A and B are shown apart, each in its own frame.
Chain A
C-alpha cells in the first residue's frame, strides 16, 4: 500500500490502539478513547441487566425474556452443562461475567463512532485470562488439596521415566500456555478485525474520493472494498459472539478439568 502525506492513502497502524490520553495523562490511571469505550461497554452491561432484572415477573415480558435468554445461555449451556448443577452454581458469577464482559467489549468494534473493541488492547484479555487461570487453580486446589499439582504435573499411569518429558510439557501446557492462548486468541481476533475494517473503509474512502480524481475507474475498487467492509462487519458480529463464547467455555473447561482430576 502506498502511503503519502498529502491526501494519499493511510493504512491502519498499530498506533490505532494507543490513542492520545484524554484524562490523567502520564499517570497509571490514564484514560484514553479506548478506555472510555470500555467504560461505555461496561455501562451498557449494567444498564441492560439492571433494568432487565429490576422487576422480574414469573411470566416474562419481551425485554425480560431477552435478558433471561442471555443469562440462561451462560447458566445452562456453559456452566451447568460442563460443571453440573452444584459446581455450575459456584462458578456461575465468574463465567457469566467473563462472557458478557468479552461480548459487550467486542461488540463496540462494529458500533459506529466507537469502531474499536476495548479487547483489542491487551489489558482486558490479560486480566480475564489471569482470572480464569486463578479460577481453575483455586478449583483444583480446593477439590484435591495437595494432590492437584501432583496430578497435573505427574499424571498417574505414566511410566516414571517418561516424567522427564511429560512433566515439562504438562507444566507448560497447563500453567503457562492456557492464559497465554486465552489472552492472545481474543486480543488478536479483535486487533485483526479492527485493522481489516479500517483497511477496507479507508481504502473505500481513498478510492472513491481521492483516486477518482486520477481516473473514474478507481471508483469501482471503492465499491468493491466497501462491499468487503460490509461483509466483514457482519463477520465481526459473529467473531464477537464466538470469542465471548470460546473464552467463557474454555474457562469453564479448565475449571472442569481441575475439578475432575482423579486419583
Chain B
C-alpha cells in the first residue's frame, strides 16, 4: 500500500527521515523559547507558590501551637488562683472560727464574773438587811416584851439596863433552845 501511496505522489518522494533545515531551526527556536519560559518564569513561580503554601501550613500549625500553649498557661494560672482563693477562704474561716470561740469564751467568762459579782452583792445586801432586821427586831421585840410584861406584872420595869439584860438573857435562852432542838 505504501508503494502505491508513494507512487501516486508526483515527482521524487521526500524522505521523512531527512530533516529540512527550516524544520530543525524552528524546532530549536521553539524548544529554547519554551525551555526558558519554564525555567525562568513558570517553575520559579511554582516554586514560590509551593514555598508559600508550606510556609502557610507551618505558620498555621505554629499559631495553633501558640494558642494551645497560651490556653495551657491560662488554665494553669486559673488553677493556681483558684487554689490560692480556696486556701485564703479556709484561712479566713479558721480565723473566724477561732475568733468566734475566743469571743464566746470571753463573753461567757464576763457573764460568769458579772453573775458572781451580782450574787456577791446580793448576799452582802441580804446579810446587811438581815443584820439590820435582826437588830431592830431585837430591840422592838425587847420593848414589846417589856411592855407586855409590865402590863402583866404590873410593875414598871423602869430600869432600862435591867430590862435590856433580861431581854438579852431571854433571847439567848431562846436561841439556845432553838439550836438545841435542831
Contacts and interface: CB of A to CB of B under 8 A. Distances in A.
A187 B16 CA distance: 9
Contacts of B38: 49, 93, 96-97, 100
B43 A96 contact: yes
B53 A58 contact: yes
A56 B49 contact: yes
11 contacts: A10-B8, A14-B6, A27-B22, A29-B25, A46-B33, A49-B37, A53-B45, A56-B48, A93-B38, A93-B39, A121-B20
Interface of A: 1, 3, 10-15, 17-18, 24, 27-31, 35, 38-39, 42, 45-46, 49-50, 53, 56, 58, 68, 71, 75, 92-94, 96-97, 100-101, 121-124, 126-128, 131, 187, 191
Nearest to A94: B35
Interface in B14-43: 14, 16-28, 30-31, 33-35, 37-39, 41-43
A58 B34 CA distance: 25
A46 B37 contact: yes
B34 A42 contact: yes
B152 interface: no
Contacts of A29: 22, 25-26
Contact of A100 (B4, B26, B34): B34
A96 B45 CA distance: 14
Interface in B51-87: 52-53, 56
Counting from the closest, the 9 A-B pairs by CB-CB distance are A123-B23, A93-B39, A123-B27, A30-B22, A53-B45, A127-B27, A124-B27, A56-B49, A28-B21
A49 B16 contact: no
A105 to B, nearest CB: 8
Given A45-B34, A126-B27, A191-B16, A92 B22 contact: no
A58 B49 contact: yes
Contacts, number: 132
Contacts of A71: 42-43, 46
A58 B52 contact: yes
B180 interface: no
Contacts of A38: 26-27, 30
A61 to B, nearest CB: 12
B154 interface: no
A124 B14 contact: no
A121 B43 contact: no
B5 A12 contact: yes
Nearest to A97: B35
Contact of A39 (B21, B24, B30, B49): B30
B150 to A, nearest CB: 140
Given A11-B5, A15-B14, 20 more contacts: A11-B1, A11-B4, A12-B5, A13-B8, A14-B14, A17-B16, A31-B26, A42-B30, A46-B37, A49-B38, A50-B41, A58-B52, A68-B46, A71-B43, A93-B38, A97-B31, A97-B39, A121-B19, A121-B20, A131-B31
Contacts of B43: 71, 92-93, 96
Contacts of B5: 1, 11-14
A28 B26 CA distance: 9
Contacts of A53: 41-42, 45-46, 49
